[in-house]
Amino acid sequence: MTRQEKASKILEILEDLYPETPVPLDHRDPYTLVLAVLLSAQTTDKKVNEVTPALFDRAPTPSEMVKLSVEEIKHYIRQIGLSGSKAKNIHRLSEMLLEEYDGKVPESIEELERLPGVGHKTASVVAAQAFGIPAFPVDTHIHRLAYRWRLSNGKNVVQTEADLKKVFPVETWNKVHLQIIFFGREYCPALYHDLSTCPICSWAAPRAQWKAEQKRNQEIKKRPSKKA
């Protein structure tokens, strides 16, 4: 089976499992989506959704956000990892939107990447979900599954993005990247995953991958647990 054929079959399964793909991060507009995705780095979506309502109520626009000090922003997001640097980025990002974009979030990935704290993945998410621009954001779930399914060689996220863009039709990118994330969370965890029973890994992952992950899981189980 070629990568293209495999991707087509995977797409059918994902479409059946996840016909609807709501954005996991709660937001109100492109600006709050940028902030939510920025905050989600090294933090769960659930935790981000817990802390952002108060911040967005207090400062729903760039003009309101810049009125807050970095310390005040940090207070709202203190439960989030890297809250100090993220608070600085939020404040400077908001200033930049006012200075260069009339307070509006730019639509292009290139312009989004210029904003403080906004890397390629964040820019791709915002372009795709806020403006409908075809993009294929690659997070850890997508990177892991693309390798398990051998749709990519797993070298790095840049290569994974390029490989996935080749095998999935451009009109599916904005939806399928979310479908893969949902599938990874529900069916395809990083550890202790039985590939032989997975709806996709059972036929898409090579047997060598099954054995490698079984061996790794056994080794992890044998490691002495850390005492509190």
How does pLDDT run across 170-199, given as a tens digit for each residue? 999 999 999 999 999 999 998 888 898 999
Confidence at residue 155, expressed as pLDDT on a 0 to 100 scale? 85
Question: Of 79, 45, 183, whose CA–CA distance to 37 is shortest?
Answer: 45
Is 34 found in the same domain as 116?
Answer: yes
Confidence at residue 77, expressed as pLDDT on a 0 to 100 scale? 96
Mean pLDDT of 50-75: 97
**Does 11 map to a domain?**
yes
Task: Tell me the pLDDT tens digit for each residue of 64-85.
Answer: 999 999 999 999 999 998 999 9
Task: Tell me the pLDDT tens digit for each residue of 108-147.
Answer: 999 999 999 999 999 999 999 999 999 999 988 899 999 9
User: In which region does residue 103 sit, left (phi positive, over 0), alpha (psi from -120 to 50) or beta (all else)?
Assistant: left
Is 217 found in the same domain as 145?
Answer: yes
**Does 86 map to a domain?**
yes
pLDDT band at 225; cut points 50, 70, 90: low
Is 41 found in the same domain as 127?
Answer: yes
The CATH number of the domain where 81 resides is what?
1.10.340.30
Query: What percentage of residues in the chain have a pLDDT greater than 90?
Result: 81
**Does 227 map to a domain?**
no
Dig out the tokens for 51 from the structure: 């802390």
Cα distances (angstroms) measured from residue 213 to each of 184, 189, 196, 222: 16, 11, 11, 14
Confidence at residue 146, expressed as pLDDT on a 0 to 100 scale? 96
Cα distances (angstroms) measured from residue 199 to each of 52, 173, 194: 35, 21, 11
From 131, 165, 195, the end of a domain falls on: 131
From 131, 163, 193, the end of a domain falls on: 131
From 131, 149, 164, the end of a domain falls on: 131
Confidence at residue 228, expressed as pLDDT on a 0 to 100 scale? 43
Is 188 found in the same domain as 105?
Answer: no
**Does 76 map to a domain?**
yes
What's the rounded Cα separation, in Å, for the pair 103 and 60?
A: 12
**Does 25 map to a domain?**
no
The CATH number of the domain where 193 resides is what?
1.10.1670.10
**Does 226 map to a domain?**
no
pLDDT band at 102; cut points 50, 70, 90: very high
- Give the range of the structural domain holding residue 57, as residue numbers without chain letter: 30-131
Q: Report whether 195 contacts 205 (CB < 8 A).
A: yes
**Does 228 map to a domain?**
no
Q: Is the pLDDT of residue 86 over 50?
A: yes
Lowest mean pLDDT among 11-15, 183-187, 221-225: 221-225
Number of domains present in the structure of the chain: 2
What's the rounded Cα separation, in Å, for the pair 31 and 170?
A: 25
Catalytic residues: 121, 139
